[in-house]
C-alpha cells in the first residue's frame, strides 16, 4: 500500500499473544500472483520467490496515517502418515493452530520453519519434505502506538518426527502451549466453537487455512 513504512518489529507486542481478539469475522482476499499489499515491492517478502507464484491472500489493510511494520513469519502444516495433522494448542484456549513464528534477521524462511516447529512442539521437520504452499498478509492495528502491523505468514507443508527439544517463550509457557495430533475436521470444529464466542485472529487465520486444505485437497496436493 502507498505510504507504508517498513520497520523491524521485534519490540512490538506479539501478534499471537493471548488476549487479542476481534469482534467481526474478517475477509481473506486472494490476490493476483506477484501482487503486493506493500509499496516497496523490491523488498517485499510476500512477492519473493517461490512465494510470488503461489496463492497469496490479504486480510485487512494499513491505516494510511499510521506507521506500518512488517513481520515475516513461517508456519508449518505438518502432515502425519495417517492423515492427521501435528498442531499446536494451549491449555488456555484449546485451539488448534499451526506451529510457527517470526523469521529472525538473516534467517531463511525454511530455517525459521524448522526452528519454530521444534521450539513449539519438540518435533524435527524433515527439510526434504518441506514445500511452500501459500502465504497470507494479515494486518492488525495498534491504535495506542499509531501502528499498523503487517504479518506476512508463509505456510509450508512438511513432515516431522519427535526427538527435538521444546523452547517456549514466556507468552507460550504461560498459555500452556504444547503439541497435539488431530484430524482436520476435528481441528476446524474446535476452532469454530472458539470463534463463535470470540474471534481471536490467529485462530481465525489458521482456521481459514485448515478449511482451504479441506476444500482444495487435490489442488494443494494432499
Would you list the domain boundaries of the chain? Answer: 29-217
What superfamily does domain 29-217 belong to in CATH? Nucleoside Triphosphate Pyrophosphohydrolase (3.90.79.10)
Amino acid 219: pLDDT: 66
> Which residues does residue 137 pair with via DSSP β-bridges, in sequence order?
58, 152
pTM for the predicted model, two decimal places:
0.83
- Burial (Cβ within 10 Å: 0-12, 13-18, ≥19) of residue 146: exposed
**Segments of the chain with pLDDT less than 50:** 1-19, 39-43
User: Exposure pattern of 194-209 as b/e (b: 16+ CB <10 Å)?
Assistant: bbeeeebbbbbbbbbb
Amino acid 114: pLDDT: 97
Q: What is the C-alpha separation between 107 and 10, in angstroms, rounded?
A: 14
DSSP H or E stretch at residue 110: helix 109-121
- pLDDT above 90 as % of the chain: 55
Amino acid 164: pLDDT: 94
Q: Can you tell me whether residue 133 is helix, strand or coil? A: strand
Task: Spell out the residues 6+ positions from residue 39 whose beta carbon is closer than 8 angstroms to its own.
Answer: 1, 2, 3, 4
Amino acid 162: pLDDT: 95
Dihedral of the CA atoms 29, 32, 36, 37 (nearest 10)?
Answer: -30
Amino acid 5: pLDDT: 33
Q: What is the C-alpha separation between 18 and 200, in angstroms, rounded?
A: 8
Amino acid at each position: 500500500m502507498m505510504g507504508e513504512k517498513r520497520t523491524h518489529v521485534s519490540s512490538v507486542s506479539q501478534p499471537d499473544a493471548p488476549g487479542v481478539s476481534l469482534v467481526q469475522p474478517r475477509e481473506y482476499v486472494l490476490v493476483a500472483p506477484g501482487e503486493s499489499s506493500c509499496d516497496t515491492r523490491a523488498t517485499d517478502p510476500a512477492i519473493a520467490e517461490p512465494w510470488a507464484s503461489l496463492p497469496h491472500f490479504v486480510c485487512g489493510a494499513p491505516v494510511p496515517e499510521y506507521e506500518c511494520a512488517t513481520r515475516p513469519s513461517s508456519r508449518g502444516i505438518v502432515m502425519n502418515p495417517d492423515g492427521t495433522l501435528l498442531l499446536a494448542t494451549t491449555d488456555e484456549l484449546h485451539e488448534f493452530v499451526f506451529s510457527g513464528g517470526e523469521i529472525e534477521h538473516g534467517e531463511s524462511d525454511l530455517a525459521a520453519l524448522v526452528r519454530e516447529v521444534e521450539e513449539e512442539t519438540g518435533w524435527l521437520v524433515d527439510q526434504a519434505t518441506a514445500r511452500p504452499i501459500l502465504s497470507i498478509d494479515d494486518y492488525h492495528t495498534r491504535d495506542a502506538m499509531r501502528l499498523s502491523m503487517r504479518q506476512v505468514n508463509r505456510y509450508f507443508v512438511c513432515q516431522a518426527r519427535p526427538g527435538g527439544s521444546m523452547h517456549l517463550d514466556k507468552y507460550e509457557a504461560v498459555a500452556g502451549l504444547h503439541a497435539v495430533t488431530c484430524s482436520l475436521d476435528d481441528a476446524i470444529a474446535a476452532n469454530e466453537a472458539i470463534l463463535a464466542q470470540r474471534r481471536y485472529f490467529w485462530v481465525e487465520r489458521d482456521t481459514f487455512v485448515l478449511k482451504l486444505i479441506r476444500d482444495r485437497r487435490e489442488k494443494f496436493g494432499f
